Structure 1
Amino acid sequence: MTERKILSRDEAIQQADQWRANGEQIVFTNGCFDIVHLGHIDYLEKARQLGDRLILGLNTDASVSCIKGPLRPVVNEYARARLMAALAFVDAVTLFGEPTPLELIEAVRPDILVKGDDYSVATIVGADFVLGRGGRVETIALVPGYSTTKLIERIKSSY
Structure 2
Amino acid sequence: MLRLYSLLMLLLWGMLCLPSCVREDSPSGEEGICPGDRLPDCTFVLSDNTRVSTSDLRGKVSVLVFFHTSCPDCQQELPVVQKLYDYYRDDASVRVYCISREENSAEVAAYWQENGLTIPYSPQSGREIYSLFSERGIPRVYIADKQLVVYSVYSDNPIASFEQLQADVEASLK
Larger RCO, structure (CA 8 Å, separation 6 or more) = 2
Shorter-chain TM-score range: 0.3 to 0.5
**Which TM-score applies when normalising by structure 1?**
0.41
More helix, by proportion: 1
**Which TM-score applies when normalising by structure 2?**
0.38
Who wins on radius of gyration, i.e. which is larger?
A: 2
